[in-house]
Chain A
Amino acid sequence: GAVVSQHPSRVICKSGTSVKIECRSLDFQATTMFWYRQFPKQSLMLMATSNEGSKATYEQGVEKDKFLINHASLTLSTLTVTSAHPEDSSFYICSAARLAGASETQYFGPGTRLLVL
């Protein structure tokens, strides 16, 4: 099956620092990757969609300058939370799809728990 990894699995940082989260497709090429955020006991909210080699498409209300997404290769996408604040503390989950713009079959990573102090 298709495997997606995320690193780190947990991160604690001080307010004002930046945190980078990596999402890798281990055994397939992911043309499209998605980033979601999940607050405790809530659902997943799509933050942005990124296609390899092009700029990410952000959902309404998601600040692109705060959540920097880079999808430089077919196996790696990164999400950088810049100048993190306690309200950014959340569970961040990525997913990957083989085909460009394909949302039907997404393979999800295990998630990264971010705690901003």
Chain B
Amino acid sequence: SQQGEEDPQALSIQEGENATMNCSYKTSINNLQWYRQNSGRGLVHLILIRSNEREKHSGRLRVTLDTSKKSSSLLITASRAADTASYFCATDAPVGGYNKLIFGAGTRLAVHP
């Protein structure tokens, strides 16, 4: 079964607004990663946060990790129409004896001009 659950499933905002997506997971992790996927395309790696980190920034992206609640959030500030995409969290964790990435269900973000 999938490790991560994301909410909301879909998010529609206006340009300039902030977008927040949440991810929850079930087991201990090595790290958590966020990816972006434009429709019908491959994945773009956005940011990785390790289990001993609580917050990380990269440009307009801010990721938090709360291992006690087994949750993470991705904040995109000052959104642009070009941010329209699906966003996935992925947990890197030992499963079945070796490490693997398990993806959440994703959030479909639509940013309207």
Q: Which residues of A contact B (CB under 8 A)?
A: 34, 36, 41-46, 49, 57, 91, 93, 95, 101-104, 106, 108-111, 113
Contact = CB atoms under 8 A, between A and B. Distances in A.
Interface of B: 2, 30-31, 35, 40-43, 45, 48, 88, 92, 98-106, 108
A36, A57, A101, A103 — most chain B CB neighbours (10 Å):
A103
Contact of A93 (B30, B42, B99): B42
B103 A104 contact: no
B101 A108 contact: no
Contacts of A44: 43, 88, 103
A32 to B, nearest CB: 10
A98 to B, nearest CB: 14
Nearest to A113: B40
Contacts, number: 52
A101 B35 CA distance: 20
Contacts of B40: 91, 111, 113
Contacts of A57: 98
Given A101-B98, A102-B99, A104-B99, A111 B41 contact: yes
A108 B88 CA distance: 14
B88 A104 contact: no
Given A43-B2, A43-B104, A43-B105, A111 B98 contact: no
A113 B40 CA distance: 8
B101 A43 contact: no
A104 B31 contact: yes
Nearest to A49: B100
B34 to A, nearest CB: 13
Contact of A111 (B42, B88, B100, B101): B42
A110 B42 CA distance: 4
A46, A109, A110 — most chain B CB neighbours (10 Å):
A46
